[in-house]
A and B are shown apart, each in its own frame.
Chain A
């Protein structure tokens, strides 16, 4: 069974600081990788995803993530955070079945990001 680990429970940054949130997964097969964001009181929104191809993926709101297969990692980055990025961030994985998404998502514990103006 797959599992996902996010290293940081709570990250506090000032505006304009750079962000990197760690995510490692455990699974023997091919996976799809996702980062979701949850703003206070709102639903989970997809930031970006990786299925195959270029391991550096760009998402919405200036976020990007790099898939490093040898490290089983999919870290989320943003060069300069804003106060509006304050939210909880979730890394997730599911099986890749022939280049498509398959089945349930397995989530990490989530990382709360607080950005001070």
Chain B
């Protein structure tokens, strides 16, 4: 079964540093998403991406965040200057029609 792959599985970074979280969506999928889950809280939508541009973003997705699909396979989430409150599990998802497929997540710890 096709999978969405996320790397790294765990990243520790110092406050103020930039991080890039990587995702390889399923190859024929057209819609791409990032979600995050702060420990003990809901899974929250961050951003959706379609046709090489952001189609929707949440209020969490401020100027510190950006997404990119630099080639035909990768989909990245960049956080420019991490804060302690960015510590969370970040999930990538992709879909073609209704079927969202999620990656196993990157646990980001900001110290």
Contact = CB atoms under 8 A, between A and B. Distances in A.
Contact of A103 (B42, B44, B48, B91): B48
Identify the 5 closest CB pairs spanning chains A and B, nearest first.
A101-B98, A43-B104, A107-B43, A44-B102, A104-B45
B33 A104 contact: yes
A108 B4 CA distance: 22
B100 A46 contact: yes
Given A42-B104, A43-B91, A44-B91, A105 B45 contact: yes
Nearest to A36: B102
A107 B91 contact: no
Given A41-B104, A90-B43, A101-B98, 11 more contacts: A32-B98, A34-B100, A36-B102, A43-B102, A44-B93, A100-B98, A103-B48, A103-B56, A104-B58, A105-B100, A106-B45
16 contacts: A36-B102, A42-B104, A43-B102, A43-B104, A44-B43, A44-B91, A44-B102, A46-B99, A49-B98, A103-B48, A103-B56, A104-B33, A104-B45, A104-B56, A105-B33, A105-B45
B103 interface: yes
A36 B91 CA distance: 14
A101 B33 contact: no
Contacts of A46: 99-100
Interface residues of A, number: 23
A109 B4 contact: no
Interface in B35-54: 35, 41-45, 48
B28 interface: no
A107 B105 CA distance: 16
Interface of A: 32, 34, 36, 41-46, 49, 51, 90, 92, 100-101, 103-110
B69 interface: no
B98 A109 contact: no
A45 B4 CA distance: 12
A30 B106 CA distance: 33
Nearest to A51: B98
Contacts of B41: 109
B42 A108 contact: yes
